[in-house]
Amino acid sequence: MTSGVDLGRPQAQTVGSDEDVVRVRQMVRTVAVAVRLSLVDQTKVVTAASELARNTLVYGGGGTVEVTAIDNGRRPGIRIVFADSGPGIADLELALTDGYTTGGGLGLGLSGARRLVDEFDIQTAPGQGTRITITKWSR
């Protein structure tokens, strides 16, 4: 599934309001700069984090985001975990389809975020909440 060694403690942010989504973006950017992601990769991972943190808020009813600087021995990277105890996703394949939305958005959040990162893992089931882990490696 995922690989790499944690460097230091993860930074955590609860997501309960749209101001918290702004805080998640800032936290992710700080770590992305620290692990020396290129400017384009910083932009991609912050954008992905913004989409997923908003999903945590809007669909998950709030939750937590953890950001960790990691290293797989060859290169550093950033790992972000988005966790909520909301309703979960019943049809994951459908939820990952471009343009599919149940929230009145553009339906690009989940599918778009997946395209912007190197690794994307999602654990979810109806009534079980959703846990998404993304990783972006420095090139």
Partner 1 sequence: MERVPILKIGDILLVSIQVDMSDQTAVALQEDLAERIVATGCHGVIIDITALDIVDSFVGRMLSTIASISRVLDAETVVVGMRPAVAITLVELGLSLNGIRTALNVERGMELIAIDRADDHDDPDDDPVPEPTASP
| Interface residue list for partner 1 (CB under 8 A) | 18-19, 21-22, 25-26, 29, 39-40, 42-44, 46-47, 50-51, 54, 98, 105-106, 108-109, 111-113, 115-116
Nearer to partner 1, 85 or 101 (CB): 101
Q: Is the Cβ–Cβ distance between 134 and 80 less than 8 Å?
A: yes
Nearer to partner 1, 7 or 47 (CB): 47
Non-local CB neighbours of 122 within 8 Å, separated by 6+ positions:
89, 92, 130, 131, 132, 133
Nearer to partner 1, 126 or 139 (CB): 139
Least Å distance, CB 51 to partner 1, is: 6
Least Å distance, CB 100 to partner 1, is: 12
Least Å distance, CB 70 to partner 1, is: 22
Cα–Cα distance measured from residue 89 to residue 13, given in angstroms and rounded to the nearest whole number: 22
Nearer to partner 1, 51 or 84 (CB): 51
**Which residue(s) pair with 12 in the sheet?**
66
Least Å distance, CB 14 to partner 1, is: 15
Q: How far apart are the first and last CA of the chain?
A: 20
**Residue 4 CB-density burial (10 A; 0-12 exposed, 13-18 middle, 19+ buried):** buried
